[in-house]
Structure 1
Amino acid sequence: MMESRLQRKYEDHLECLVCERRCKIREGMRGACGNYANINGSLYHVGYGKLSYIESRPIEIKPLFHYWPNSTALTYSNYGCNFYCPWCQNHEISFRWPPEVPEVKPSYLIDLAKRRGDHGISASLNEPATNFDFVLEASKLAKDSGLYSMVVTNGYFTLEALRELLNAGTDGYSIDIKGCPEMAERKILPHVNHDIIFRNAREVIEEGGHVEVVYLVVTGANDFESCFNWIVDKHLSLGPDVPLHINRYFPANRWREPETDLKKLLNFRERAMREGINFVYVGNVWDPDLESTFCPKCGKLLIRRRMCRVTHFSLIQEGGKWRCPRCGAEIPMRGKFIQQRGPLSLGSPKPPYRGASSGR
């Protein structure tokens, strides 16, 4: 166990300051995610180093399309979540508190990433906020070792936690937008303040980090017109060049509504682009045309992707900026383009790690 960096002590309880649920935890109890506990009047990260998956995965699967294209990241996850979405694709680990498994050191991840030829590390599959202190240490080691560090997150960190991650070198953020404030009236994730997620996305951008927003369009939950309009308006406040991924939902866990209608996804994409978002992708339909990058100025195909790998890359780099080779328009892109496919190991090193199923 490790004592949490972010806590506030009161006479009869502790307040966890890692995420905006700000759990009030009494002696002997845990917060909502199950990873932070009040032990003898101090907040401990009891899930520290208790990982559920470790494997090399393409950065495009996160999805991040404008960040270190065609690279691979050593992806790791732990247990628990602070949201518990009823449609969670990874509920086997997200809905489970950390079990008694051997602790993994952050340095092990860095050494493994180097041995496998990965270009960075990624906290993913379940919510990284549940593993904050571990992610922070791993990010610092990655930065010192010349590896990038990114997270796939619901974006519900406190500003204190977010700034610590940014200072540690975590500069890539794939942020899942769960919906809009109106969902609370439908009793869907009523504890979530969706404005905070966009506040945090804006903070990352202002501090020099990279953000891509993912809108999983869940049938019967967040697929209605007013919710879409709210998300687009909020997204535009981040800037027109912030990529938006409009992804298809499939039934999972306790949410059994049918998969998202493809016509609705395409309609949302067309409208988002019409509203002024320059890079809009449609995911989970496996159509290369919907996952490819086109110049927003002249329409030239710049990056083609297929099955989470880059098959065509025609951007040119001038003065440290990526540009369209036809018209010279600047294209937002973080990191290097990896010419060769990095090694992908779809297995896992040894028990207790399992090979990952569908997910990020």
Structure 2
Amino acid sequence: MECQICGHFCQISEGKTGKCRMQTCANGILHERFADKYLALWPSAIETVPFLHYTPGGRYLLLSTLGCNLSCPGCVSHMLVDDPDLIAGALLKADPDEILNQVRDHSCLGVIFCLNEPSVSFHTLINTAKTLKKEGLLVGCASNGCMESPVLRQILPYLDMVNIGMKGLSDDVYRTCGSPCGVKQVLDNIKIIHDTRIHLEVSVVFEARREHEITNLARHLSYLSAEIPLHIMRFIPFNGADNDCEPAPDDAEKLVTQCKTWLNWVYLFNTPGTYNLSSYCPDCKTLLIERTFYGPMGARLTNRIYQSECTCGRTIPVFGEYYRNDGYEPRFRGGYRTSVLLDMVSGTLNQLGIYDKKVVSRVLVQILSGDWLEKLQTFFATPEGYIEYIRTLGQFADTQDLVHPLLGFYTERLEQITKFVTNLRHPRVFCALSHPYLASYPDKMEVALAARAGGDVLNYQISYTESRPHPLSREEFMALQPEIILCLGMGISDTSDFLHHCHIEGLLAPAIETEQVYCIPKKYPVSGIRWILALEYFANLLHPEIIRFSLEEDEKYLNTLLNDIQTNQTNTRI
């Protein structure tokens, strides 16, 4: 049987699947493998999808199935698409009526299919959308736009908004992603959506040295309308992608300016501290809607500044009402953060020598069940929590005895550092994400590590939290007067970048004057199994007169521990 959803036109024989692994043939008829089943099924603000010009702040039930008809290098959702069977056991069954009930229970405006390609679950999408539209609710989707045009035309009558995520503006890029079509078909589908008068936003991945593709896309979209919002997704190398493909934040900021030659509303994602997530009047540059960074491919309203019409008379093309969304989504529910979490857990299992797909699947399914997503948020916030996380994974994988030496090393170093710093003066430390106004949340691991390393961590004194995400003001930063600044996260390459931001803003603080600003080396990550090295690095920085850990030696020792665990895992399987 031939599947006609996309241009792969997979010939699917009895009991087999196509390229996306979501369609199968049974008794000579094509079926969805996981009809009415979802991995993600929770409420979130629309900006996490993202949509920026449609019911701002509105709460929607996010729906994610599994699978995709592309295989893009560095995909943030690769855990949902590369091997769907790995996490299929965690799928939640919910027919259209049950989805309708959940929308009402959570006081949502409607649903949005996102995180993976919705068209691979074509019948689930259509049936659910029909049910919700009958009840006057809103339906949207984020798609790669690579479905066949007749399929798109069947879906559009039941959609209110669409975000088409483009991979670039060349057939070479689409071939690299294993696309069933070239860029022309995606552009044709964008025109179909625009001509149907459905709300349209376009996202595009920006890889280093591909500025010309993005500016050409902006020019092409302007022929349809200069009012189409364009989201530039600065490439972040997830899933082992080439680090050289990540463009510098300054290059991405310049690209936004170039694209505004053609389009009025251009936004920059995956760049903490950028002002280009907010909406400014194209005529007089007045700030109209303020947004801030909110994880991979996500944004969030600060709820401080919102106006749909500028004082100069220019209106912003936003559909629907503004909703002040003060709701708080757990960190690993909403937007692409769930897929990032699954990648983190899978990576930890691999570092512990656990590669068996049945074991990995069992652990991931257990993590996705119950309240484990909320528990992991707590685990990842402190050293003690991370120790409990490793212990829990060992229990889930039935290998708890093998991780004891690693846990012993963690515990010994923690106790040693605590003893060292107890009676020392604690310098005033500020943890920032790439920009002086973007503080690390107080419940993040880097903040806990800085405190355990003997710092008086200022992040505990400010109101910047995930439920109150607006950046610091200049006055708030100046009041902190940090002696040491630790900066980390996407969008920062070295200390000079951070100091450059400080000088542009005219900031004064002891850390800036003495250049006691440190970008955390990538080889000492604050999250993940090597966090103990980051703790030692912090302790060396904060108390160089007392503490001098040999990071090179401890890195070798940690590698030996991990190698021993992996070897023992192999011997156990044999």
Q: Compute the TM-score of the two structures, normalised by the length of structure 1.
A: 0.83
Q: Alpha-carbon deviations, 1:208-244, whole Å to 9, x = none? A: 111111112134xxx4244234323322233110011
Counterpart-to-counterpart distance in 1, 2:251 and 2:232: 10
2:128 equivalent to 1:142: no
Q: Alpha-carbon deviations, 1:321-345, whole Å to 9, x = none? A: xxx2413223211222113535645
Residue 120 (structure 2) aligns with: 130
Counterpart-to-counterpart distance in 1, 2:56 and 2:66: 28
Residue 36 (structure 1) aligns with: 23
Counterpart-to-counterpart distance in 2, 1:163 and 1:191: 18
Q: Alpha-carbon deviations, 1:221-272, whole Å to 9, x = none? A: xx42442343233222331100111122222114132432112211211111
Matches of residues 291-306 of structure 1 in structure 2 within 5 Å? 291-306=277-292
Counterpart-to-counterpart distance in 2, 1:32 and 1:209: 29
Counterpart-to-counterpart distance in 2, 1:32 and 1:225: 31
Contact 2:171 2:182 in 1 (8 A): no
Counterpart-to-counterpart distance in 1, 2:72 and 2:37: 22
Q: Alpha-carbon deviations, 1:101-136, whole Å to 9, x = none? A: 553212222211211122221111111111111111
Q: How many residues align?
A: 332
Which residue of the other structure, out of 239, 263, 284, is the alignment partner of 2:250? 263
RMSD: 2.7
Counterpart-to-counterpart distance in 1, 2:325 and 2:110: 15
Higher strand share: 1
SS of corresponding position for 2:243: coil
Compared with structure 1, are the counterparts of its residues 95 and 210 closer, same or farther at alpha carbon in structure 2 (3 Å cutoff)? Answer: same
2:160 equivalent to 1:171: yes
Compared with structure 1, are the counterparts of its residues 185 and 246 closer, same or farther at alpha carbon in structure 2 (3 Å cutoff)? Answer: closer
Counterpart-to-counterpart distance in 2, 1:336 and 1:184: 37
Contact 1:53 1:353 in 2 (8 A): no
Residue 55 (structure 2) aligns with: 68
Matches of residues 150-229 of structure 1 in structure 2 within 5 Å? 150-168=140-158, 170-183=159-172, 187=176, 189=178, 191-219=180-208, 223-229=209-215
Matched residue type, 1:122:
I
Residue 6 (structure 2) aligns with: 19
Residue 313 (structure 2) aligns with: 328
Residue 92 (structure 1) aligns with: 79
Counterpart-to-counterpart distance in 1, 2:169 and 2:176: 12
Residue 235 (structure 1) aligns with: 221
1:46 Cα offset (Å):
1.7
Determine what percentage of the aligned residue pairs are the same residue. Answer: 24
Which residue of the other structure, out of 315, 324, 339, is the alignment partner of 1:339? 324
Counterpart-to-counterpart distance in 1, 2:161 and 2:242: 32
Counterpart-to-counterpart distance in 1, 2:144 and 2:219: 19
Compared with structure 1, are the counterparts of its residues 295 and 213 closer, same or farther at alpha carbon in structure 2 (3 Å cutoff)? Answer: same
Contact 2:21 2:67 in 1 (8 A): yes
Moved more, 190-199 or 120-129: 190-199
Matches of residues 5-16 of structure 1 in structure 2 within 5 Å? 14-16=1-3
Which residue of the other structure, out of 95, 102, 112, is the alignment partner of 1:105? 95
SS of corresponding position for 1:200: helix
Contact 1:56 1:345 in 2 (8 A): no
SS of corresponding position for 2:84: coil
SS of corresponding position for 2:120: helix
SS of corresponding position for 2:260: helix
Counterpart-to-counterpart distance in 1, 2:164 and 2:201: 6
Compared with structure 1, are the counterparts of its residues 334 and 185 closer, same or farther at alpha carbon in structure 2 (3 Å cutoff)? Answer: closer
Contact 2:204 2:232 in 1 (8 A): yes
2:305 equivalent to 1:287: no
Matched residue type, 2:326:
R
Counterpart-to-counterpart distance in 1, 2:198 and 2:163: 11
Moved more, 42-51 or 225-234: 225-234
Q: Alpha-carbon deviations, 1:58-110, whole Å to 9, x = none? A: 11111111011011211121111100112111111111235355532122222
Residue 232 (structure 2) aligns with: 246
Matched residue type, 2:79:
E
Matched residue type, 2:118:
P
Matched residue type, 1:336:
E
Residue 315 (structure 1) aligns with: 307
Matched residue type, 1:23:
C
Which residue of the other structure, out of 369, 392, 410, is the alignment partner of 1:351? 369
> Mind listing any 5+ residue stretches in structure 1 that lack a counterpart?
1-13, 317-323
SS of corresponding position for 1:251: coil
Residue 272 (structure 1) aligns with: 259
Higher helix share: 2
Contact 2:162 2:201 in 1 (8 A): yes
SS of corresponding position for 1:16: coil
> Mind listing any 5+ residue stretches in structure 2 that lack a counterpart?
295-299, 334-367, 377-574
Counterpart-to-counterpart distance in 1, 2:370 and 2:126: 23
Larger radius of gyration: 2
Q: Which has the higher contact order (CA 8 A, sep 6+)?
A: 1
Matched residue type, 1:290:
N
Matched residue type, 1:248:
R
Compared with structure 1, are the counterparts of its residues 113 and 273 closer, same or farther at alpha carbon in structure 2 (3 Å cutoff)? Answer: same
Q: Compute the TM-score of the two structures, normalised by the length of structure 2.
A: 0.54
